[in-house]
């Protein structure tokens, strides 16, 4: 924590009636009763499994100086109690006030797929244009001072605001942030001062958390309709089926809309010509034509690059300079990343695709870059949306020439049962439970001109089995198999 602040200043002018004790000094904030220290404000938040008000006694014993509770909660305490109809959002706003400083220019990106790539590309563009830039999300934090882990795509609001303040104090002026649907639904980003927000796409995902697709869509729309203040810059993938909904919310909010893609009005992708390890993009922006040799494969990576370009341009960068540096982009770890190129000429890629739409996109994207056969190794996670498993199996069988079904993160489910549900969609696939063995088997089958995609885990370095996380990396498994086979990674 940075210091202390009087409770009245922390609550702010938007607050409900200030309780007695407005001059109380607050030394920190937390929603975890175990993390309470003397002088902290404890936020007793309602949860899907636990009710934070049940832990108020523990928090008071630990020295909590004030409480934030849901409106209507009956709480008796000898410390100031703030009741709010939306305590999650109130905590986020308090955290932003408490930590005080943020990087000058922050752009957030949401969508089912592409968030990590867009955040990474946006950071790279800014850095190549001379800005002190960072990105924050699934891969952790990357800044001029190096990389550090986060644990969540979008951290809880107190941790997030602490990181924003730390980055600002490091001298970071430009920050790209991933906005997950969980983070948006739980108000973690509220209080973050956004200059721009981007949207990639939305397809079936997280149905184990969201009550319906409309609920999932609403969480994404919150970024533009509630989190980013009026008059921001909204960069929207015009090729998404939900473009109209996002554009309508943005116009109502008074945002400047930059639409991108093959249907984009502002950054128009006129053509994309695949090369062996990249693609040539013909882009039209404000009447000028640009030819960009993008060193990334796949149509969705072209889309991600254009969203990132739109965010940079929307935040003030000169368009010609932005399109020029697109030719120097490097992919995010585990996102359509070539990990091995074998002596036969076969290539092995790793991608984080773990939804039906993402798997379809990656396989369709690789086909133009595949001279002969396209192979895929993938699985589905346990304790997650079961409905997508046979769907992903069908997609793999339809779009790949050879399919290997393996384990992803079984979690508490029986791994064989998860694989069986996937196999319903691809009954002719090879089933190999051990992921490392599946990768090696598929790589041994590769011939000249073939491409293998290992999908689902991307950058992850562990496999969750039961309540344990076992060290496992697709990258390391590929490199190990390449060494056995006699290939080069």
pLDDT in tens, 255-301: 999 999 999 999 999 999 998 789 999 999 999 999 999 999 988 89
What is the mean predicted confidence (pLDDT) over 31-52? 90
CB 414 within 8 A of CB 432: no
Strand partners, 282: 271, 291
Q: Mark whether 256 and 352 lie in a shared domain.
A: no
Q: Mark whether 172 and 127 lie in a shared domain.
A: yes
Q: Supply the pLDDT for residue 19.
A: 59
Q: Greater confidence, 276 or 128? A: 128
Average pLDDT for the chain: 92
Q: Supply the pLDDT for residue 3.
A: 62
CATH code of the domain in which 85 resides: 3.40.1390.10
Q: Mark whether 315 and 451 lie in a shared domain.
A: no
What is the mean predicted confidence (pLDDT) over 141-155? 90
Q: Mark whether 128 and 153 lie in a shared domain.
A: yes
% of the chain with per-residue pLDDT over 90 = 81
CATH code of the domain in which 466 resides: 3.90.190.20
pLDDT in tens, 82-101: 999 999 999 999 999 999 99
Burial of 77 (0-12, 13-18, 19+ CB in 10 A): middle
Q: Mark whether 370 and 425 lie in a shared domain.
A: yes
Q: Supply the pLDDT for residue 73.
A: 86
Parallel/antiparallel/unpaired status of strands 28-30 and 40-43: parallel
pLDDT in tens, 373-407: 999 999 999 998 899 999 999 999 999 999 999 99
Of 328, 358, 385, the position where a domain reaches its end is: 328
Of 308, 328, 348, the position where a domain reaches its end is: 328
Question: What does the alpha-carbon distance between residue 482 and residue 459 come to, in Å, rounded to a whole number?
Answer: 19
Give the 3-state secondary structure of residue 452. Answer: strand
Q: Supply the pLDDT for residue 475.
A: 97
Out of 1-10, 288-297, 307-316, pick the least confident: 1-10
Of 97, 132, 152, the position where a domain reaches its end is: 97
Q: Write out the two tokens for 161.
A: 């605001």
What is the mean predicted confidence (pLDDT) over 454-472? 95
Q: Is 50 exceeded by the pLDDT of residue 210?
A: no
Q: Mark whether 79 and 136 lie in a shared domain.
A: no
| Residue 223 φ then ψ, to 5° | -55, -40
| Residue 216 φ then ψ, to 5° | -65, -45
Question: What does the alpha-carbon distance between residue 87 and residue 137 come to, in Å, rounded to a whole number?
Answer: 24
| Residue of 222, 236, 249, 216 lying closest to 355 (CA atoms) | 216
Q: Mark whether 431 and 481 lie in a shared domain.
A: yes
What is the mean predicted confidence (pLDDT) over 99-119? 95
Q: How many structural domains does the chain have?
A: 3
Q: Mark whether 311 and 438 lie in a shared domain.
A: no
Question: What does the alpha-carbon distance between residue 270 and residue 285 come to, in Å, rounded to a whole number?
Answer: 10
Give the 3-state secondary structure of residue 462. Answer: strand
Out of 1-10, 55-64, 83-92, 370-379, pick the least confident: 1-10
Q: Is 80 exceeded by the pLDDT of residue 335?
A: yes
Name the pTM for this structure: 0.86
Q: Mark whether 468 and 371 lie in a shared domain.
A: yes
CATH code of the domain in which 290 resides: 3.40.1190.10
pLDDT in tens, 168-208: 999 999 999 999 988 999 999 999 999 999 999 987 544 44
Q: Mark whether 161 and 240 lie in a shared domain.
A: yes
Place of tokens 């030719």: 327
What is the mean predicted confidence (pLDDT) over 51-64? 94
Q: What is the DSSP letter of 394?
A: H
Q: Mark whether 117 and 161 lie in a shared domain.
A: yes
Residue 113 is part of which domain span?
101-328
Q: Mark whether 135 and 227 lie in a shared domain.
A: yes
% of the chain with per-residue pLDDT over 70 = 95
pLDDT band at 214 (very low <50, low <70, confident <90, very high): confident
Q: Supply the pLDDT for residue 206.
A: 46
Q: Is 80 exceeded by the pLDDT of residue 80?
A: yes
CB 283 within 8 A of CB 290: yes
What is the mean predicted confidence (pLDDT) over 249-254? 97
Q: Write out the two tokens for 202.
A: 């939305």
Torsion of CA 258, 361, 348, 372, to 10 degrees: -120
Compute the Cα dihedral for 455, 456, 459, 463 and give only its sign.
negative
């Amino acid at each position: 924590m940075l210091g202390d602040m009087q409770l009245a200043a922390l609550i702010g002018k938007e607050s409900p009636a200030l309780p007695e004790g407005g001059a109380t000094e607050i030394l920190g904030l937390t929603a975890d009763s175990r993390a309470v220290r003397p002088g902290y404000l404890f936020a007793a938040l309602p949860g899907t499994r636990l009710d934070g008000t049940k832990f108020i006694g523990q928090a008071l014993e630990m020295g909590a100086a004030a409480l934030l509770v849901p409106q209507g909660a009956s709480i008796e305490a000898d410390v100031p109690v703030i009741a709010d109809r939306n305590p999650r959002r109130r905590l986020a706003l308090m955290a932003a006030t408490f930590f005080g400083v943020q990087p000058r220019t922050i752009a957030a990106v949401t969508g089912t797929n592409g968030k990590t790539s867009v955040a990474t590309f946006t950071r790279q563009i800014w850095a190549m244009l001379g800005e002190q830039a960072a990105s924050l999300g699934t891969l952790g934090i990357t800044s001029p001072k190096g990389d550090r882990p986060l644990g969540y795509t979008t951290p809880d609001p107190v941790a997030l605001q602490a990181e924003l303040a730390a980055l600002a104090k490091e001298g970071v002026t430009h920050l790209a942030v991933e906005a997950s649907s969980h983070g948006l639904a739980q108000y973690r980003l509220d209080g973050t001062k956004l200059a721009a927000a981007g949207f990639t796409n939305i397809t079936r995902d997280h149905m184990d958390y969201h009550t319906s697709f409309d609920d999932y869509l609403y969480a994404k729309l919150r970024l533009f309709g509630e989190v980013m203040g009026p008059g921001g810059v909204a960069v929207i993938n015009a090729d998404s089926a939900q473009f109209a909904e996002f554009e309508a919310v943005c116009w109502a909010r008074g945002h400047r809309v930059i639409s991108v893609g093959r249907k984009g009005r502002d950054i128009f992708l006129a053509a994309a010509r695949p090369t062996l390890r990249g693609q040539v993009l013909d882009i039209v922006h404000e009447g000028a034509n640009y030819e960009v040799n993008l060193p990334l494969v796949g149509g969705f990576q072209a889309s991600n690059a254009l969203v990132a370009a739109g965010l940079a341009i929307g935040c003030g960068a000169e368009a010609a300079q932005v399109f020029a540096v697109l030719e120097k982009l490097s992919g995010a770890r585990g996102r359509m990343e070539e990990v091995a190129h074998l002596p036969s000429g076969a290539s092995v890629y790793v991608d984080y695709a773990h939804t039906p739409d993402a798997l379809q996109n990656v396989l369709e994207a690789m086909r133009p870059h595949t001279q002969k056969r396209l192979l895929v190794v993938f699985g589905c996670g346990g304790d997650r949306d079961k409905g997508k498993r046979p769907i992903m199996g069908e997609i793999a069988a339809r779009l790949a020439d050879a399919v290997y079904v393996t384990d992803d993160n079984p979690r508490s489910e029986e791994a064989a049962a998860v694989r069986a549900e996937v196999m319903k969609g691809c009954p002719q696939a090879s089933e190999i439970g051990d992921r490392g063995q599946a990768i090696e088997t598929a790589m041994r089958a590769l011939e000249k001109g073939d491409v293998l995609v290992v999908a689902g885990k991307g950058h992850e370095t562990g496999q969750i089995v039961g309540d344990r996380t076992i060290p496992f990396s697709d990258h390391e498994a590929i490199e190990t198999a390449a060494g056995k086979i006699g290939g080069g990674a």
